[in-house]
Each structure stands twice: as structure tokens, then as C-alpha cells.
Amino acid sequence: MKIVIQRTTGVEIRIDGKLHSATGDGLLILFGTKVGDTGESCGYLADKAINLRIFEDSAGKMNLSALDVGAEIMVVSQFTLYADTRKGRRPGFDQALKPPEAERLYERFVELTAASGLVTKTGVFGAKMDIAFTNHGPVTIILEHEL
């Protein structure tokens, strides 16, 4: 399982040109699963994401977590995180988990993130979405958990 965390000053998700959801200052988390992933990875990565100290303290050092600053979280499923580009010019997605199981793990990750008490919003699993955000810092962290 892999997540890409981006510190943002807000995120907007549009589907078919209509605003679906939006957050303020916080994190955009892109969530991807691969064959063999389990719910155990959801717990590990949700905890890591909300407790990762990537927000600045009063001294300007990245020393505060999403929990410390009351960040808002946007979680978006993204199977392309497991694109295989080693051969040819067209990415392959054989390692990406198939939709029914991937959606179950995505929903579990969202549930665990929301259990932190932070405002947690989502896109729509499998939908074509337009995502607008400002990467603040910029700060982008990639986390992966394998069993």
C-alpha cells in the first residue's frame, strides 16, 4: 500500500464540473493499493499520516503533526500509484489491486483517518475527478507499507 501526502492550503474536488468536496489547510492524501495489501497496512499508514510531523512550529521547523494543527484531510483513491513503467511507453497496472477489494481498503483507510477526529473528506472511488490544490512548502512525502 502506498500513499502520497501533500501539505496543502486547501483542496477542491470537482466531478463533472460540479464541486464534490473541499477542505481548508491540511493534507491531500493520494491512496493506492496493490495485489496482496491488507487492512493492517491501512491502520499503519493512517496513523503515520496523521502523526507525521510535517507542519511548521513557531520556529519554522517541521515539528507539528496534522493532529497538532487541526489539519483537514482529503483522501483520494489513485490506482495509478502502482503504474509499472519499466517496459514500453504505456504504463501497466497489473500490480494495482482490483476495484472491489481496493475500494474496501480505501474506505477502511478513510474510516481510520476520520477516527482521529480531524475533518476528513473524500473523492469518489473510481470517478474521474478534477483536483485543485496548492502544495504548501512544497511538502510531498511518499509512504509505503508492505507486509
Exactly one of 23, 78, 113, 120 is catalytic; name it.
78
Alpha carbons 69 and 117: distance in angstroms, whole number: 12
The amino acid at residue 31 is F
Told to judge if 78 belongs to the known catalytic residues of this protein, a careful annotator would answer yes
Across 9-18, b (16+ Cβ under 10 Å) vs e yields ebbebeeeee
How far is the C-alpha of 126 from the C-alpha of 130, rounded, in Å? 13
Nearest Cα neighbor of 104 from 39, 43, 44 is 39
**Phi/psi zone of residue 36: left (φ > 0), alpha (ψ -120 to 50 degrees), beta?**
left
Could you report how far apart the first and last alpha carbons of the chain are, in Å? 9
Q: Is 80 tagged catalytic? A: yes
Select which of 31, 55, 79, 133 is catalytic: 79
- Annotated catalytic residues are 78-80
